[in-house]
Amino acid sequence: MQYHRSFIMGCLVRALGILVLAGCSMLQSSSLVASGVPLQTSGGTPENREKLSLAINDFGLDLLRTLTTDSGKNAVLSPVSIHAALSMTMNGAVGETAEQMRRVLHIDGMAAAETNNTWADLLVRLEKDNAAQTLEIGNSLWARQGIAFKQTFIATDRDSFGAQLATLDFAAQDAAEAINRWVSTSTHGRIATIVDKPPSNAILYLANTVYLKADWANPFEKKATAAMPFHRKDGAAIDMQMMRQGELMPYAENATVQATTLPYKGDKSEFHVLLPKPGITVEAALADLNGAGFKVLRDALTSARMAHVNLGLPRLDSEYSARLRNSLMELGMARPFDDHSAQFTAMADFSAPIFISDVAHKTRIKITEEGTEATAATLVMGVAGAAPPGDDPVHDLICDHPYLFAIVDHASGAMLFLGVVNDPTQ
């Protein structure tokens, strides 16, 4: 897999069948048959957008906790990407399989139609034109030629997620090339390949990509950047380049972290820094944070009186990849991965179960004095206006030890990217 500048992320889900299918009518088209833009954009409400955004954030925080336990490594996810890919897959699930997915995705309080309608609404709003930044989200389905997938499943993912559909001869050499071309195009070439030759029992790939390029509203001055030690959790001190800003910023804190917000140009999205307080590990800070808690902290930053903040943020160019099967099972999504009892009969009718083989997630983030560029690919196998603070104290927020960050859509509050930085040189 190749990673390039900035933030490159995404989710691709592959659903696998365990038998060779025969006697099924085939989907006739071998070309893309949907535009990639949700066709159904009505039905979303502010209340449901807030529910879905909280669900995305809760899920992302849950998942990140499973991936950061004593590893000492960076972990960067796109909650929006992974949640979208699994939500598309869930449209083919029934029974306990669907219920487990809904619980883990924190959408068990929403009906399926509500979830799909709200995703359609959210995707359109996320990609709403903004000249100051680029945010692009793509979804696609890649089906094995000759297998009759249920049209309700295909139509729902098309209408709600704008999922492009193609049928491919998975035995042909160019099958993986076709998927990789789509991923490369969707990520502006930042991810060149994500799929090798499909295994013999693969019947469907569900893919999501996220690409973000945004400049800071208030760039860091390059001449202020200087070498500083970063203290890793293992006690080692490593040299890294620390970017500096000292000005009026939003500032908030809770029992475990100090936080500030860096807006991007256009105010479409924002970068939140969450620095654990002395004596608090990044794992303890993460354990104390859920979607509602993050919203409280973000609301405090939004409404806070501007404060003098002495911010130090490392330059970062970090790659990350993970297989999410074990983490998702640990969170309670076991049955979808069971090759005997998974229930994806709303996807297609087979005499043996369709199941998810794995969920692959790859990211790269690059943070510089100018801004952030990020992109993701997931594969499932299936402030302002406050008076000056006067003589208020200066808050030092120097990220010279492990910290958390979140890149958030301003309007919805949904986490586009979420990460733990244990070593900015990784």
The angle at the Cα of 93, spanning 89 to 96, to the nearest 5 degrees, equals 130
25-60 pLDDT per residue, tens: 333 333 333 445 566 666 679 999 999 999 999 999
Which range (42-51, 396-405, 410-419) has the least confidence? Answer: 42-51
Tell me which H or E stretch contains 106: none
Q: What is the pLDDT of residue 26?
A: 35
| Residue in the block written with tokens 């359109």 | 124
Residue type, 81: S
How far apart (Å, rounded) are the C-alpha atoms in residues 205 and 16? 9
How far apart (Å, rounded) are the C-alpha atoms in residues 196 and 414? 32
Residue type, 360: A
User: How many CB atoms within 10 Å of residue 196?
Assistant: 8
Residue pair 74/282 in contact (Cβ under 8 Å)? The answer is no
Residue type, 58: D
Q: Above 90 in pLDDT, residue 200?
A: no
Q: What is the pLDDT of residue 307?
A: 94
DSSP 3-state assignment of 241? strand
Report which of 379, 416, 285 is spatially closest to residue 86, judged by C-alpha positions: 379
140-176 pLDDT per residue, tens: 999 888 888 999 999 999 999 999 889 999 889 898 8
Look up residue 426 and give its two tokens. Answer: 């990784």
The backbone region for 62, taken as left when phi is positive above 0, alpha when psi lies in -120 to 50, beta otherwise, is alpha
Architecture of the domain defined by 8-216+317-380: 2-Layer Sandwich (3.30)
The backbone region for 70, taken as left when phi is positive above 0, alpha when psi lies in -120 to 50, beta otherwise, is left
pTM above the 0.85 mark?
yes
Domain coordinates in residue numbering, the chain:
8-216+317-380, 222-315+386-421
Bridge partners, residue 247, by sequence: 309
If one looks up domain 222-315+386-421 in CATH, what number appears?
Answer: 2.30.39.10
Q: What is the mean pLDDT of residues 371-378?
A: 88
Residue pair 198/222 in contact (Cβ under 8 Å)? The answer is no
Q: Above 50 in pLDDT, residue 196?
A: yes
Q: What is the pLDDT of residue 244?
A: 98
DSSP 3-state assignment of 349? coil
For residues 239 and 12, the model is more confident at: 239
Report which of 104, 96, 89 is spatially closest to residue 56, judged by C-alpha positions: 104
77-92 pLDDT per residue, tens: 999 999 999 999 999 9
Residue pair 382/345 in contact (Cβ under 8 Å)? The answer is no
Q: What is the mean pLDDT of residues 188-199?
A: 81
Q: What is the mean pLDDT of residues 315-340?
A: 93
Q: Above 60 in pLDDT, residue 198?
A: yes
For residues 5 and 89, the model is more confident at: 89
Q: What is the mean pLDDT of residues 94-112?
A: 97
How far apart (Å, rounded) are the C-alpha atoms in residues 96 and 101? 8
CA dihedral for 287, 288, 293, 299, sign (positive or negative): negative
Q: What is the pLDDT of residue 384?
A: 21
